[in-house]
Structure 1
Amino acid sequence: MTKRIALATSAEHAELHPNDLPLVEALRTAGLDPVAEVWTDPSVDWSAYDAVLLRSVWDYHRRYDEFTEWLAQLDKAGVPLLNDSGLVRWNGDKRYLLELRERGVAIVPSQVAAGACLREVVGGLDGQEIVVKPTVSATALHTVRGVAGSAEFDQVLTELPELVYLVQPFQPEIVADGEWSLIFVDGEFTHAVVKRPAAGDYRVQDDFGGTVTPAEPTAEVLEGARAALQAAGRTPAYARVDGVVVNGRFLLMELELIEPELFLTQHPEAAHKLAATVVGRI
């Protein structure tokens, strides 16, 4: 019998994002029956599927408690999730970066702070240009950039919601050279792109006018990305390793294991490799 796989998506992209269409075709070619399902739809019988593949669940960070409850629901029903629910839970909070640092991964310098501690941490960086972002977030939600100690940035901080934040020095190389995204399928590197912000911005997401260019990573960039992925401990079905090169060294910004854009339209062969990986894991 043909195995059915649910492609979990958000209500905003109920028919999937166009960037996922190459994967749909690849899954069908591999003999699977892929069906887009909105993860927040209470009418979906997830147990009717042989597996669930996370795709455009781009609202999970806004409904994080609900998302983790949904993961528990899948676990209870015995429905395999790709990536697996343990990795997804671990990856859902950016504090995993500090764990990877303890495992020897070079990351963008990061401190965690919440509430009054946020002011204390920012105060210790007086005069430096920094970025503050929630530990649970995506698409630069509640992410701010400014000079620590300036009146303007102090005002910005007062407007942030009460969350747990990462505090990082701003990396000007993102503007000058771009941010690397390296895609791995079943632990193997498939392709890479460089994302660049629009003029006058620092956010590389296309929501803010960022652009994407296919690129071949240097040996040093690829080695750094592989080291970050291997430090996660388990080999995910898919992963995107985001980082920036500073003084010739690849620094990890994020290890994306939940719902990353995999840039499959730029590299269709990776869609078929991912489809084969899905077949082999269910």
Structure 2
Amino acid sequence: MSDRLPRLALATSAEHAQLHEDDLPLLAALREAGLDAVPVVWTDPSIDWSSYDAVLLRSIWDYHKRYLEFTEWLGQLDKAGVRLLNDSALVRWNADKRYLLELREKGVAIVPTQVAAGACLREVVGGLTGQEIVVKPTVSASATHTVRGIAGSAELAAELDKLPDGAYLVQPFQREVTADGEWSLLYFDGQFSHAVLKRAADGDFRIQQEFGGTSEAIEPPPAALEVAERTLASLDVRVPPVYARIDGIMAGGRFLLMEAELIEPYLFLPDHPAAYTRFADVVTTRLSA
């Protein structure tokens, strides 16, 4: 019997070739759990992915900018028979935010959302004249090409003119984001781990850290847990995702889903240091199954 440790590639971007600093304790926890875990740049053409027992997606925060290359890479892993965490079919589905409409059809409460592309984008925005809206690409991350403004205004029209061709989500701006914050609920193997409440910097609506956003570890309300668990139960999978981040807002006593992050989300592990070990244990157990 071989005593070789299972080899786990932590897929990351060239920008974070040794992982984002907040993921370094995870690397240590995975090694402590008995895995030969190493950071690997996903775009490095010299990598023999078949030499790994599995790939865990981590700091690949550039995938949306190289989407075709990313999907080809997923196909490469599939062809090589390399296990991806989360599953490659789930990742493909989650990469395009049109999945929100599918979840709505399954009874998950989402932020009101329309999808439009090309000339239809102007038509959809025109139908919301006077409303404050947010427009974001269906394939995006970190608020890339996301704009906010009053539908029908010259200012928003100018911003829309700058957007590249593609499909976009059009949503009413949710004032709860700036007034109360946006929730992130973290799950490992379908089990709730921890939650944070994210707040935007004064004068901004983007809650990401790079735009001055902050996060606070806090217990989520029951309504948020209920919708998060319904979201996970609605996924077309045989087993729960190894990791999931469910983002949303509380509006009128209801939790409205904004995104289900199943690719490479920031997991707010520093806010809950014990979660590093929980996550590592789930990954190790999944690889031994």
Q: Name the residue aligned to 2:62.
A: 59
- Cα shift at 1:268: 2.2
1:253 aligns with one of 247, 251, 258: 258
Q: Name the residue aligned to 2:12.
A: 9
- Cα shift at 1:220: 1.2
One-letter code aligned to 1:81: L
One-letter code aligned to 1:8: A
CA distance in 1, matches of 2:137, 2:284: 35
CA distance in 1, matches of 2:11, 2:224: 31
After superposition, the CA RMSD in angstroms is: 0.7
SS in 1 for 2:269: coil
- Superposed CA offset, 1:118-145 (max 9, x none): 0000000010000000000000000000
CA distance in 2, matches of 1:170, 1:121: 15
- Cα shift at 1:266: 1.4
Matched, 1:242 2:242: no
Q: Name the residue aligned to 2:113.
A: 110
- Cα shift at 1:19: 1.1
Matched, 1:159 2:175: no
One-letter code aligned to 2:229: R
One-letter code aligned to 1:99: E
Q: Name the residue aligned to 1:121.
A: 124
1:195 aligns with one of 173, 193, 198: 198
CA distance in 1, matches of 2:138, 2:207: 18
- Residue correspondences, number: 282
- Superposed CA offset, 1:25-51 (max 9, x none): 110111001100000000111111110
1:138 aligns with one of 125, 137, 141: 141
| TM-score (structure 2 length as normaliser) | 0.96
One-letter code aligned to 1:127: G
One-letter code aligned to 1:189: F
- Superposed CA offset, 1:154-205 (max 9, x none): 1111111111000000000000100000000000000000110000000000
CA distance in 2, matches of 1:166, 1:219: 28
- Cα shift at 1:261: 0.5
SS in 2 for 1:36: strand
Q: Name the residue aligned to 2:271.
A: 266
CA distance in 1, matches of 2:98, 2:221: 28
CA distance in 2, matches of 1:51, 1:256: 20
Percent identity between the two aligned chains: 68
Contact in 2 for aligned 1:185/1:270 (Cα 8 Å) = no
Gaps of 5+ in 2: none
Q: Name the residue aligned to 1:37.
A: 40
SS in 2 for 1:162: coil
Contact in 2 for aligned 1:214/1:266 (Cα 8 Å) = yes
SS in 1 for 2:90: helix
- Cα shift at 1:269: 2.0
| TM-score (structure 1 length as normaliser) | 0.99
Q: Name the residue aligned to 1:220.
A: 223
Contact in 2 for aligned 1:198/1:211 (Cα 8 Å) = yes
